[in-house]
Amino acid sequence: MGKRVSSDEMQNIFEILQKSYDVYGPKIYQGTGCFSDTDVVRYGLLNSWEEIVWNQKSDYSFKEVLLPISETILYFTENEMKTADGAARQRLIFLKSCDFHALKRLDDMYLKNGVEDYYYRRMRENTVFAVMGCKESGKNCFCVSMGTNRCEEYDMYIFQDENGCYMELKCRELEELLWDYGQNVQEKPIFVENNEVHVEVPEKLPNIIHQDSMWQEYGSRCIGCGRCNFVCPTCTCFTMQDIFYKDNPKAGERRRVWLPAR
């Protein structure tokens, strides 16, 4: 069971959420596109409910909210080291079902691939996710072939149509915050069930597939610009940089920085 909420009420709900969370989602950055006078859609801190972009795919990944492109992880002097503080406030991120599946891949890499990543764990425990139901398939989307068109383990589900919004809450904290809003209804989450693009996924890929001539050729053309890391929500490649301060070269900070594919 979920709730029906009017569009006006949604702005009130958004303001309630803002009191407890920094709220992020896809929004338009005017005039910052690749070409002059073009816009870009990317994830950022939202100031109002209307700011969320529903009908367009984000040009950049939600990942940059979770894992900053450059993140200071510790400060050091000659003798001491101090772990950098985490984000001061909890975060709520609005994202699509396909992105929510990408999050599982990030979890696998950072939390289930040997020793847990302390910084990722800290950030993950401080973040809740609101899945935005897609009304229709986006251009070039192929989530149905990949089975990423629907999901269940979200903290909040939200679908916007001409009658307002349908909302489902699974996280106790969100339930307590928003309990008094909207009308209880017997609706179900809506997910895209068809894409124009279909992808045949092989039953089994050999382990040496990365040696295939297609990838060799692709790799030979790579100029290390890093764009693939920026757009791919599942990429976990990073490098470390030690920065020494100019006024005291024996002190500095260590940063984790996204790494271009090479």
Q: In the complex, what is the shortest distance from the CB of residue 28 to ligand SF4, in angstroms, rounded to a whole number?
A: 16
Q: In the complex, what is the shortest distance from the CB of residue 102 to ligand SF4, in angstroms, rounded to a whole number?
A: 10
Q: In the complex, what is the shortest distance from the CB of residue 226 to ligand SF4, in angstroms, rounded to a whole number?
A: 5
Closer residue to ligand SF4, CB minimum distance, 77 or 194 = 194
Closer residue to ligand SF4, CB minimum distance, 97 or 160 = 97
Closer residue to ligand SF4, CB minimum distance, 114 or 224 = 224
Residue ranges of E strands in the chain: 2-5, 21-29, 40-45, 70-76, 81-83, 90-96, 127-132, 156-161, 164-169, 183-185, 238-244, 252-258
Instruction: Tell me if 6 sits within 8 A of 181, measured CB to CB.
Output: no
Instruction: Tell me if 163 sits within 8 A of 2, measured CB to CB.
Output: no
Query: What is the C-alpha to C-alpha distance for residues 163 and 100, in angstroms, rounded to an integer?
Result: 25
Closer residue to ligand SF4, CB minimum distance, 67 or 102 = 102
Q: In the complex, what is the shortest distance from the CB of residue 182 to ligand SF4, in angstroms, rounded to a whole number?
A: 24
Q: Can you give the binding site for ligand SF4, defined by CB under 6 A?
A: 57, 96-98, 134, 137-138, 141, 143, 149, 192, 222-228, 260-261
Tokens of 238: 């990073």
Instruction: Tell me if 3 sits within 8 A of 183, measured CB to CB.
Output: yes
